[in-house]
Every structure is written in C-alpha cells, then in structure tokens.
Structure 1
C-alpha cells in the first residue's frame, strides 16, 4: 500500500502551507504605501485643516525622505542577504531556514509596529528602520526555502503549476493589502493595523512549523530522510569573470526597469491623492494596487506565452518602450490614474516573464547561482538608491500633507529616465545577442521548450540553492 507521501494530495497539502509562508509578509511589505498619508501626517491636528486649506491628517510626522528610507533599507538588506541565504540553507537544511527566516519576518514586523508607538520621539525612525532591516532579511530569504521545498515535491510533476501558485499567493497578499489596509486603519488606527500585519507574519511562522513537519514525515515515508541534500556549488568570487557582456546588459536592463516600478508603487497612493481631485485614501490605494492586480491575473498566462514563442530579448525592449507612456501620462496629463497603473501592471508582467528567465540562457550552468545572486543584488541596490533619490525629489524636510505637483512631475521624469536607460541597455543586449547566435530570441516550439528550457529550469531549481531563491524571489519582487 502506498504511503501518504506518495499520493498527490500530500504534495498539494505541502504546497498550500508552503504558499502561506510568504502571504503575510508580502501583505506587510507594502502597508507603508497604503498608509503613506499617515506615515507623513502631522504629529497633532489641533484644527481639521492646515493653513493652506488642505485637510490635516494626524500621523507619524515623517518627511518624504524618511518614508522612502523605509523601502530603501529593505532593498539594501535583500541585496546582501539573498546571496548568502542559499549557501546557509544548503549547509543547515530547509527546516532550519524556514524557521529562521519566518521568525525574522515576525521579529522585524513586530519591531516596526512597536516603533509606531514612539511617534514624536527620536526612537521612532531607528526602531522602524531596524524592523524593516530584519523583515527584509527574512522575507527575501524565506522565498529561497519556499522554492526549494516546492522544487523537491513537484519535481517531474506539476512543477510549473506549483511555482505559479506560490508566486500568486505572494502577489495576492500584496493585492489584499491595497484593498483592506486603509479600511482597517480608519476603524482601528495605525498601531493596530501594523500589529495586524505582524499577526499575518505569525500565520506564516505557523505555516513554517506545519510545512516542516509535513516535509520531515514525507521524507521518512519516501525513505529519503537525511539523504535529500541537494548538490549545490559554493559561490566563488572568481566566477564573476566568467559572466559575459550579455549577462551584464541583462542585469542592468532588469535594474533600470524595476527602478521605475517599486519606487513608484511606494509613493503612488499619496501621488494620486495629491494630483487628482476626488480620490479618497482608500480609492487611491485600490488604484495603486492595480499594478499588482494586473500582474496577478496575467503572470501565468504571459509566462506560458513567452515560453512558447521565445523572443525574450524583443519582449524586454517592448516592455520598456510600452512603459514610457505610463510615466508621461502621470507626469503631464490628468488621464485617470487607473489607466496608467493597469498599463504598468501589464508591462510589469511581461518584464518578469521575459527578463529573469533569460539569465540561464546567457551564462554557463556552472555559474548560474552566482549570476542569479548578483542580478538580484544589483536590482535591490538600484531600487534602494532610487527610493532615496525619490525622497530627495519629493522634499528632504517637507512634512506638509500635500506635496507640490512640480515635485511629483520631477519624480515621474526620474522614472522616465530609468525607463529610457532600460530601453538603451535592452537594445544593445539584442544587438550583442544577435552577433553571438541570437539565443534570447530563438523561436521555440512547445516540444522544444519542454525538452530544453523547462528541463534546464528544473535542474537549476533542484540542484542549486541560490538559483532557486534568487530566480523566483526576483519574479515576486518582480
């Protein structure tokens, strides 16, 4: 009689709890974006309106620079930790990793929520930055463990479906944050809202315990307990010299594209309220969240399309070109912002499906883990720097509730500049790729994709700790 672990239902139970590992943490990540008005609100509101006639919002009194630093420190932490996390998990095992990194998410979100109780004191910003640092250390690395567990249980089975579902659950957390957080804050206040996010991270920690038990029991039933250590190669500094020009062009293409996505999302809710008439905070949060809504709906279908037709390099250029009008509309017109955010979500979906899976095609398999780690680090460093620059553009010491329109226009021009940088690097990438055989843009038939690219991806996911984490972490942060 077959053991439970050998049956299909068992691996899908593992998958469910594995998906829940990051649902809460991705909900938590963008809470500041929805509550930007409260984070930058006045410490006290004696009158309901300010001197310039705008509504007074009571909050933490952060400047735009301090607010954007919350996102910058998260990105910088990821840039360092995701490279080391794969090696640590490889040495100490999945179960150790899932406990450590889910606990860091709980600890970081707790300190972040605790910091909100110190408004008006010098302890507020250090506590909240410490919380984001610990939270970033856990959240990015937790994805590595999540992907590794998925790769084992669905190897040779429904692997693409399983990875799609883990990605969808993370994005679902982001989407629900934009729909629910403002309403919850209006009823219960900011402090309880942040503690509610911590509670969702606790749910992730309980899921970590469950998936660890299921994984351990399943390994014993399959006779693999103690022998399932995957072969993974240690990252060596000298491997960097083996990476080609095409690889570095691809890395900077990714960096420039995402420089225009996440810094915008971080400030989108406040931007919509400041520029457009008649939008409440809740409505603005819904519209900002449409970027995630679009990618949530389209990511699986777009991935199947690109796997089928190839043309990854062409899609990379088209994504950047099609993103240009988005920031142009936001900066210089009063076209309803929902059009722009949905549009951005569509190009975001195509970018995630075309750029990151191109890396295994332009580097030797022996250096793939190093390549994925470096690409993620460069991406996160770029996002972190852009968050700081955006904070400077919006006003270093400007704590007014409403930011002047000319500052928002400068921010959108900065987003445009990054998108133009993406167009330049992706165009040069296609030229170099064509000279070197046109690997990125080869048309592929379905059978060819299944026999080569999909199998390569499976082998990469299963045999390299770093590849597993970095690839799908990028697609999510993607």
Structure 2
C-alpha cells in the first residue's frame, strides 16, 4: 500500500462520524487537530475557507493604495491628476484581455494551484515595482508596477472563485462567495484608513516627506501581498493533498472561451453590459479621487476624508451577503438594479449640488453599490446558455476594465481642467446612461417575456416544470 493510501485510510477510517463515534483520525495527533487534518471534515474546509479569504486580501488592499495616498503621490511625484489616474488605467489595461483568458490559463495551461501561485507572484512583484518607482522617483516605473500588478489581480480573483467552487457546493456556495466579497471590501477599507497614517509614521522616522517616504510606505503595504502569496502556497498543498486523499478532481473554472459566441449575444445581454460599464465607471474612479474631494469641498481632515471615502467598502462588507440572500428570495432582478442605479444617481446629485453632510450620500452609494452587484451579475446566467457563460462573463469584465481604464484618464483630465463640480456632472451623466439602459432592459425583457424580472416563486415553478 502506498503512502497516499495509508494517509487516506488513516483519515477516512479513523475519522469520527457525524454522531461523534469512531476512533481518533490520527492517533499520534491529540485534541481537535485530526478534524483539521481531514479534508472531508468541516473544520478542515473552514481552514481552507480562511485561506481563500486571505488569498485576495493583499490584492484588494493594494489596489486602492493610490486613492489612500492621492495627495502624497501627486505632491511627492510632482504629477497632475491626469497622470495620477494613469495608475488605475494601467491596472485595467491588461485585464481588457486577461479577463477573457484568465480562466483559460487556469484550466488549460497552469492548473488552479500553479495559476494561483503565479498570479499571486505577479501581484507581489507589481507592488514591489510600484514601490520602487517611488523610492527612485520614477513615475514611469510606478506605472509599470501597476501594469504588472493588474496582470495578477483580476486573474487571481478568477482563481479564488475556482477554488471556492471546487471546495464548496450547493447552498453554502452563495454564503462563501459573500464572505469572500466581504473580506475583499475589508481589505480596501483597511487600506483607505491605514496608508495615510503609515505614511505619516514613515515621514516622522525619516524626518521629511518625499518620494522615498512614499516608496517605503508602499513597500510596507506590500507585506499584505506576501501574506496572500503564502496563502496561495498553503492552499496549493492542501488542495493537492485533498485530491490524493478524497480522489477529487482539480478545480476548473468551467469556462469555454469561444470568441465566436459574441455574435450570438442577445439585446438584453448587451444592455446588461452597458449598465455594468456606465455604473462602475461612476464608482471606482470617484473613490480613486474622493479623498481630496472631501478635504477641498467639505473641509474634512485627511484622516476623516479617508474614513468617509472608504465607507462604500465598509457598508459593502456586511451587506453584500444580506442583499445576495434578499435577491435570491425575491427575484425581480431588474427592479433591484433600478433601485440601485436611482440611489447612486441621488448620491452623486447630493455630492455635486448640496453641502449636506457627505456621509449621507456615501452611505447611499455604499448600499446601492452592494445591491447592484448582487442583482446585476446573476442576470447574465438568465439570458445566456450555459456553454456561453464563460465567454459572457469574460466579455463583461473585459469591457468593464476597458471602461474603467478610459474613464480614469478622462476623469483626471476633467479634474485638472474643470474641477470637481464638472467631474461630478460627468459621473451623473454616466449613471444616467446606466439608468436609461435599465429602463430599456425592463421594456425589452417585458416585450420578450423574459425571466429577468420573474419573482423567485415564478423561477422555481419554471425549474420544476422543466424537471418534469
């Protein structure tokens, strides 16, 4: 008998059942550790879930490093807002292509384990190069670092989702996705509120502000990426071990990349793409520029501005799983998307044309952002055949990244030439286009008798009738 079979027998024969009966899984290991070592047990899967959550923490933490240090980057690197926003554009450019092929690379080239490790390495290397650009006062090097960081960031998210589908099934899958999204938002929130403070500590240690202080601060922030790489390595070991013991298949994304599928996309799907792009370009670029907006218009301190700029992520962390359950229970996806877009439009109007406490508008933005994600993305599965889902989601992410790259540059140019009021009007126009697309989607879906706005009860009845 081989070593793998002996390990499997020790775990599976010795593991206690659900009623608690049975011998110790590994006699030499005392206490609760046997459950942690057995990949068929809940305790082990919870350990894997913890590693999965922290797998993307570093990427999400470092993604918004520029937003948290907007003032410091522009001052220390002597760049205007247009150049500053290139740091976000360069992250998005590689993902215009890689969103299509990230799943393919995981399935057909690297495998989930090596793919996760490789993409984690890209994130780490990109953050280090980004930091070195600050240390050596080379903004082009910072841009290159963000490009490398972008190569790993989105594909790492695909790998994270693939691990999730491989380890968790059925009803628990939605909860796990919600927990991972919450951890991602926690990473962004910690970044917004920590990096400014960290910069001041490095500044005090060095005795002066400047590009060196900026670079060292970014390098320290990169420790979170190393943490994520460690999680990728441990996950790879545990997944390989579980495959040996439980004879389970290696995780796959299930994506079949066929660009010819694009010609078969329906009008409702294209409207969903328009909603996605026009909505998200009014959220992420705004957050990227928000810190200075709150200090200039509302007179907030740097710390208070960071706190309010991160409230969108703070709210998203606990509400995303809740809204996910709500949409699952009620259906009516188009109505929920409409509510989210209208609320976002109201938030930007308040920020642009009133002096009301911005906490009100930002809390509205946080709620609507969470609701839209839960209602919009699942709609793709209702209008696309299963064999085209990979292509549809890949295309959706690609045009989202294309929109973010272009709008980030345009937003920086508007801010340099016209100021924050014109920038807010521009964002209001983008959300208005998204609103128009939602209304058109409602009309088209109703005319075609589509399922996008069915209640959960109607969808269940259709599912049962098909099963019969």
Q: Is the 8 A contact 1:308 1:446 kept in 2?
A: no
> What is the aligned partner in structure 2 of residue 410 from structure 1?
422
- Equivalent-residue separation in structure 2 for 1:276 and 1:314 (angstroms): 34
> What is the aligned partner in structure 1 of residue 18 from structure 2?
none
> What is the aligned partner in structure 1 of residue 225 from structure 2?
201
- Equivalent-residue separation in structure 1 for 2:462 and 2:197 (angstroms): 45
After TM superposition, give the deviation of residue 176 of structure 1 in Å. 0.8
TM-score by length of 2: 0.86
- Tell me the number of residue pairs that the alignment of Structure 1 and Structure 2 aligns: 420
4+ residue segments displaced more than 6 Å: 449-452
After TM superposition, give the deviation of residue 326 of structure 1 in Å. 1.3
After TM superposition, give the deviation of residue 259 of structure 1 in Å. 1.1
2:199 equivalent to 1:168: no
Aligned match for 1:234, one of 256, 269, 293:
256
2:109 equivalent to 1:87: no
- Could you give the per-residue CA deviations for residues 46-98 of structure 1, whole angstroms, max 9, x where no partner exists? xxxxxxxxxxxxx2211101001111111222221121110010013111101
2:393 equivalent to 1:372: yes
Q: Is the 8 A contact 2:162 2:251 kept in 1?
A: no
Secondary structure of 1:260 counterpart: coil
Secondary structure of 2:419 counterpart: helix
> What is the aligned partner in structure 1 of residue 352 from structure 2?
331
> What is the aligned partner in structure 2 of residue 314 from structure 1?
335
C-alpha spacing 1:11/1:442, structure 2 compared with 1 (3 Å): same
After TM superposition, give the deviation of residue 231 of structure 1 in Å. 8.1
> What is the aligned partner in structure 2 of residue 64 from structure 1?
81
- Equivalent-residue separation in structure 1 for 2:196 and 2:87 (angstroms): 19
> What is the aligned partner in structure 2 of residue 100 from structure 1?
118
- Equivalent-residue separation in structure 2 for 1:161 and 1:144 (angstroms): 17
- Equivalent-residue separation in structure 2 for 1:35 and 1:334 (angstroms): 25
- Equivalent-residue separation in structure 1 for 2:172 and 2:340 (angstroms): 29
Q: Which stretch shifts more, 236-245 or 256-265? A: 236-245
> What is the aligned partner in structure 1 of residue 64 from structure 2?
30
> What is the aligned partner in structure 2 of residue 114 from structure 1?
132
Aligned match for 1:437, one of 435, 442, 449:
449
> What is the aligned partner in structure 2 of residue 138 from structure 1?
152
- Equivalent-residue separation in structure 2 for 1:191 and 1:105 (angstroms): 16
Q: Is the 8 A contact 1:242 1:367 kept in 2?
A: no
2:371 equivalent to 1:347: no
- Equivalent-residue separation in structure 2 for 1:222 and 1:449 (angstroms): 36
After TM superposition, give the deviation of residue 317 of structure 1 in Å. 1.8
C-alpha spacing 1:231/1:21, structure 2 compared with 1 (3 Å): closer
After TM superposition, give the deviation of residue 191 of structure 1 in Å. 2.4
After TM superposition, give the deviation of residue 188 of structure 1 in Å. 1.1
> What is the aligned partner in structure 2 of residue 280 from structure 1?
301
After TM superposition, give the deviation of residue 228 of structure 1 in Å. 3.5
C-alpha spacing 1:282/1:152, structure 2 compared with 1 (3 Å): same
Secondary structure of 1:395 counterpart: helix
2:266 equivalent to 1:244: yes
- Equivalent-residue separation in structure 2 for 1:241 and 1:393 (angstroms): 35
Secondary structure of 1:438 counterpart: coil
Which structure would you say has the larger RCO, counting Cα contacts within 8 Å and 6 or more residues apart? 1
RMSD: 1.9
2:233 equivalent to 1:221: no
C-alpha spacing 1:280/1:363, structure 2 compared with 1 (3 Å): same
C-alpha spacing 1:425/1:345, structure 2 compared with 1 (3 Å): same
- Equivalent-residue separation in structure 2 for 1:156 and 1:9 (angstroms): 18
2:279 equivalent to 1:254: no
Larger radius of gyration: 2
Task: Return 5+ residue gaps in structure 1 as ranges.
Answer: 42-58, 397-405, 456-478
Aligned match for 1:77, one of 94, 98, 101:
94
The 5 Å alignment of 1:450-469 reads none
Task: Return 5+ residue gaps in structure 2 as ranges.
Answer: 1-12, 16-24, 26-37, 204-213
> What is the aligned partner in structure 2 of residue 470 from structure 1?
none
